[in-house]
Amino acid sequence: MTPKFEIPGFKPSPLDPSLDIPLNRKDILDQATALTTNDRNLQHGEPYINHDNIARIWSVILGRKVEPFQVALCMAGLKLARLAGNPDNMDSYIDGAAYLAIAGELVNFDKL
């Protein structure tokens, strides 16, 4: 059983009860790694293909070329905007870290 920690002002993520304790930077990065290499990868497919599909749709909507890495950067930006309104949502920190890692991978995709 995981011990409960009491930290003033901390609110657990309502989206994921497993995040009921504050996470340190290693925990956040480990969770982001697990999500992007396992769960989300299985759900949404390989990051390049998924973000390329999104980029193509956004390019039509916006009337300008959007690259896959820019999609990941925008999604990280979305997580930052959500954190501005709810800084206690650990899920947004995890997802933001994951999107930044994906952006870094995608910007170098042709070199991998």
- Interacting residues of 43 by C-beta distance below 8 A, sequence separation 6+: none
79 in any annotated domain: yes
Residues in the chain where the model's pLDDT stays below 50: 1-3, 5, 7-8, 10, 15
- Interacting residues of 21 by C-beta distance below 8 A, sequence separation 6+: 2, 3, 4, 5, 12
Residue 18 has what pLDDT? 56
* Total domains in the fold of the chain: 1
Domain that holds residue 69: 24-111
CA distance 97 to 1: 27
Residue 3 has what pLDDT? 47
89 in any annotated domain: yes
Say if CB 97 and CB 29 are below 8 A apart: yes
- pLDDT tens digit string along 39-61? 788 888 899 999 999 999 999 99
pTM listed for this prediction? 0.78
Residue 111 has what pLDDT? 79
